[in-house]
Structure 1
């Protein structure tokens, strides 16, 4: 019998502001959509926290026996900054700076995104659609919204009519904002003069001659608004109404608010039963930001090549650190905090490794089944990973007391203990056991990558003697560099 039949799962719904008993639309099946990255730069640690949080949720739902269709998009359309209304196209800007095609930018950073999440041991989603692959669907939704009277076209752009929409529905219900307050706080921006109302957001934007990423539409050449892609892709693969929609807390308004409005304007339905939002990650007590330098990339964490931390940390330790906080709470990343997590991670792994060495007895002095239920109770309470981890450390304590001969366990209870620890540590939390050999291999790869970067810099400066020296000395110790169109790779 599937575990979901005997477990009552409660989920915090951002729409109601309360924990609710989770009941899927179709028994045994779940549709879940999570907003993916805009691929114009390297994925940062704050983004990774969101995706690790929803990987935990995905894993636990699967563990309970649900059939989960997990859809997570890739935003590869060059949207404009400031809610797709004004500013400069992020992907086109990056393409201009790097002197490559916009889709090269999208491909480069999509590959980076996948590589980082693979190192964090994230499961891939069931479907990973791209915004550029769903332009036709987005145009169709705009046509439906216009036909229903909730949008208007002007000068080749299409805007969502908030005031008209609010006569029939309620814009702002997810974020708890009132239209009157929003209007009072809205300032006129360049490019908003075509709008009937400052709050109206773009469904389709006319492409100016310099705009690279553009598509034909009934309103002329242009590109879709930022909010529209998620409406199109979520409903295409999960239906007009589905179970879970997730993303970072920063997306609640305006992105998710606009998604709800678009769906209601198009179909008359509320699209999602449970809205879930992961909270932010801070660094040394301050918001992470590239502009201030208070920022760290996952690769810098794994390699130790940064000015913030005292050493390198493995992806498994970083994942463990992230899951030690509840997904809805703010988490502060610091050297002391991650060092403490590493100690805890190592203690957990050492205890799991000693399970087979424990002496057996005819009686058990510990309540294994009661402990197992507490692990489920923690996850059933809105995926409370820090409470689950506390229970895992309760097991670590028991393992150590059994090893010291101060407690006893039967063969059957040991089997239950072992299975539960493995299920929750590796299957649900998604932690991976890193051997010393794996750690050494990662360190070697990081050192070689560093030397490749030094060699590239030497070649750029026409210092070919240093470039050749790096190549030849690596070859002398059995590491061959290969230069190709995609850059330099190495072979051991």
Structure 2
């Protein structure tokens, strides 16, 4: 019997606004689509949180025994500035600014995206399709939507007819918006003369002469609309109706709303059963933004090369910190919060390292089987990672008590404890046991050694012996110990 037959998983469905018991369309199989990045810049921490959240979902579904096909796209065309219907393509604009080809931009930032997610120990998706690799399919689905009466061509562009669609469907079903209110609040914008209504959105845009990325179509030389690519790629690899669609909260409207409309218009089916949305990440209580300087890139977090945090933090600590909040809640990133998470992470790792040393007894003072089910109950409640982590720390408390001979455990219960901690810490949460120290004595010993090396390095720098100071820094880095020089001296992190 597969684990999923024993455990009742509930998922918060953005479509209904309620937690629903998860029942896949095909027993034992799950189709999951998550909106991937538009690859025109370095991936930021907010994106990382979203992808870590859905990596958690992917990992737990796989652990339950489902065969999961996880599709996450790469947007490499059609996404205009400010998510608008007019303006430059984000990738083409970056190519113009850097004086390189658009596909060089795509390659550069796709590599960055993969590198960063690998550092955070994210599993790769089953399929990672690109928008430019599916231009033909996008043209074909536009033809179907036109034939079904829900789109129209105007001066070489094709637009989705929202009012026509709303006659027999509900445009706004996901976001809870009413079309009448949208119409009432619409301001007439320039460059919308071709549209019948301001709410209509582009399926295909005729390229202006200066537009770099362009393809032939029955209507014009142009490019597909941003919303269309996800409809095409999700339906191609998962079918016209599939189980789970995820993405950031900011995509709920208009992107995901448009996906539902396109799917219904093309295939006559509601495309997704469970819509999941991850919430945003703030920094020191404010929205992350490059323009205000309230921003930090993942690579700078890891290296410590930033003016926001007091020291570098390992990717596993950052991942642990993010998973301490439910994926649907806003999470604030700060130096204090990360430092606290680092201490908690080390406590967990130290306790796991103690497991082989624990003595077994004739009876257990700790109900391990009940605790194990509590771990499952946490994850079954809409992937509630903070409650799971609280359960892991209950185990930490028990391990420390057993080690101090203030509690007891049988051999069979110890095996269950070991296996369950391994499964939920490493397989489900995706944490990595980097720099695991077996006890506090070892921690103190290592700190003393590193601080001694820092003193030697400082003396070398004072004597302008930069070769020696660089060698100490580089050798420590090779062993996973990062130094950061600041106003208050040199700090280090494992």
TM-score, normalised to structure 1's length?
Answer: 0.89
Q: Give the whole-Å Cα distance in 2 for the aligned partners of 1:244 and 1:223.
A: 28
Q: Distance in 2 between matches of 1:303 and 1:408?
A: 42
Calculate the aligned-residue CA RMSD, in Å.
2.0
Given that 2:78 and 2:225 are in contact with CA atoms closer than 8 Å, whether structure 1 keeps it comes out as no
1:298 to partner: Cα distance: 0.2
Mapped pair 1:185 → 2:185: yes
- 1:298 corresponds in structure 2 to 298
Partner of residue 28, structure 2: 28
Give unmatched runs, 5+ long, in structure 2. 438-445, 447-465, 476-494
Cα distance in 2 for partners of 1:91, 1:83 equals: 13
Contact residue 227 and residue 258 of structure 1 kept, 8 A? yes
State the match for 2:104 in structure 1: 104
User: Is contact 1:85–1:202 with CA below 8 Å preserved after alignment?
Assistant: yes
Would the aligned equivalents of 1:12 and 1:20 in 2 still touch at CA under 8 Å? yes
Deviations 1:201-242, CA, capped at 9 Å, x for gaps: 000000011100000000010000010000000000000000
Provide closer, same or farther for how the CA distance between residues 208 and 64 of structure 1 changes in structure 2, counting only shifts above 3 A: same
CA distance 1:404–1:436, change in 2 (3 Å): closer
How does 1:50-199 map onto structure 2 within 5 Å? Answer: 50-199=50-199
Match of 1:10 in 2: 10
Please show how residues 147-296 of structure 1 align to structure 2 within 5 Å.
Answer: 147-296=147-296
More displaced 10-residue stretch of structure 1: 72-81 or 279-288 = 72-81
1:84 Cα offset (Å): 4.4
Q: Please name the residue that 2:316 is paired with.
A: 316
Alignment pair present for 1:431 and 2:431: yes
Q: Say whether the 8 Å CA contact 1:84–1:225 is kept in structure 2.
A: no
Asked if 1 retains the 8 angstrom alpha-carbon contact of 2:31 and 2:70, the reply is yes
1:478 and 1:312 mapped to 2: Cα distance? 15
Structure 1 residues 417-470: Cα deviation after superposition (integer angstroms, max 9, x where no partner): 000000000000000011279xx9xxxxxxxxxxxxxxxxxxxxxxxxxxxxx9
Residue 79 of structure 1: how far off its partner (Å): 2.5
In the TM superposition, residue 188 of structure 1 has moved relative to its aligned partner by 2.1
Following the alignment from structure 2 to structure 1, what is the Cα–Cα distance between the partners of residues 84 and 177? 20
* Inter-partner Cα distance in structure 2 for 1:364 and 1:178: 59
Contact 1:76 1:106 in 2 (8 A): yes
- State the SS of the aligned residue for 2:168: coil
Q: What residue number does 1:489 align with?
A: none
Cα distance between partner residues in 1 of 2:313 and 2:144: 50
How much does 1:97 deviate? Answer: 1.0
Partner secondary structure for residue 85 of structure 1? coil
Cα distance in 2, alignment partners of residues 19 and 478 from structure 1:
50
The Cα of 1:189 is off from its aligned counterpart by: 2.1
Contact 1:156-1:219 within 8 A present in 2 as well: yes
Cα distance in 2, alignment partners of residues 371 and 107 from structure 1: 46
Distance in 2 of aligned mates of 1:87 and 1:187: 18
| Counterpart-to-counterpart distance in 2, 1:214 and 1:144 | 21
Cα distance in structure 2, aligned partners of 1:359 and 1:478: 40
Q: In the alignment, what sits opposite 2:401? A: 401
Q: Which residue of 2 aligns with 1:377?
A: 377
Instruction: For 1:310-349, list aligned pairs within 5 A.
Output: 310-349=310-349
1:83 to partner: Cα distance: 3.7
SS of equivalent to 1:426: helix
TM-score normalised to structure 2 length: 0.88
CA contact (8 A) 1:172 1:257 kept: yes
Deviations 1:53-94 (A, max 9, x none): 000000000000000000000000142224441122211110
CA distance in 1, matches of 2:230, 2:149: 21
| d(CA) in 1 for partners of 2:279, 2:84 | 24
CA distance in 2, matches of 1:82, 1:176: 22
C-alpha contact (below 8 Å) 2:44/2:297 kept by paired residues: yes
Displacement of 1:171: 0.2
Corresponding residue of 2:368: 368
Taking the aligned partners of 2:82 and 2:325, their CA distance within structure 1 comes to: 31
Matched residue of 2:70: which SS?
strand
1:190 shift after superposition: 2.3
Q: Is the 8 A contact 2:138 2:224 kept in 1?
A: yes
* 1:478/1:268 CA distance change after superposition, 3 Å: closer
- 1:478 deviation in Å? 10
State the partner residue of 1:350: 350
* Structure 1 alignment gaps of length 5 or more: 441-469, 480-492
Residues 401 and 79 from structure 1, CA distance in 2 versus in 1: closer, same or farther, beyond 3 angstroms?
A: same
1: CA distance between counterparts of 2:367 and 2:294? 46
Structure 2 distance, partners of 1:60, 1:134, is 30
* 1:183 Cα deviation from its structure 2 partner: 1.1
